[in-house]
Amino acid sequence: MGAGGGESGAGPAAVEGGAYNERRAEAANGGEPLDGLRRVVEPGARSLGTWPAVDELLGSEPEADRQLRIGHDEGLEAVAADLVERSAA
């Protein structure tokens, strides 16, 4: 938050025409445009030799879904243990 409590950066005030709210609604409903993201980043990622990592990331389960699944199946301590294990790797 900027001085005086206003938002700074790329938040609702920085996006015109209601696009911010539309994007939030799409993301909340699983409508995130990953195919468009893939098309945009693929050329640069290939030229840098990082495409395999990007491809794996875009094809994997979203982090929030993973945490919710583990929490539901195994509990909160299992969520924390999974995060620590993957962070330390």
Sign of CA dihedral 32, 68, 59, 86: positive
Q: How many domains does the chain have?
A: 1
pTM of the model: 0.46
Residues 48-64 pLDDT 10s: 999 999 888 888 888 88
pLDDT computed for residue 67 by the predictor: 94
28 assigned to some structural domain: yes
| AA letter at 87 | S
8 assigned to some structural domain: yes
Alpha helices per DSSP H over 1-89: 19-28, 34-48, 51-59, 63-74, 76-88
Predicted confidence band at 73 (pLDDT cuts at 50, 70, 90)?
very high
Give the integer Cα–Cα distance in Å for 83 and 66: 10
14 assigned to some structural domain: yes
64 assigned to some structural domain: no
**Helix axes of 34-48 and 51-59: crossing angle, nearest 10 degrees:** 160
Residue range(s) defining the domain that contains residue 11: 1-32
23 assigned to some structural domain: yes
Mean pLDDT over 15-35 rounds to 65
Q: Which of 34-38, 68-72, 76-80 has the lowest mean pLDDT?
A: 34-38
53 assigned to some structural domain: no
89 assigned to some structural domain: no
In the predicted structure, residue 13 carries a pLDDT above the cut 90: no
Q: Are 46 and 54 in contact (CB under 8 A)?
A: no
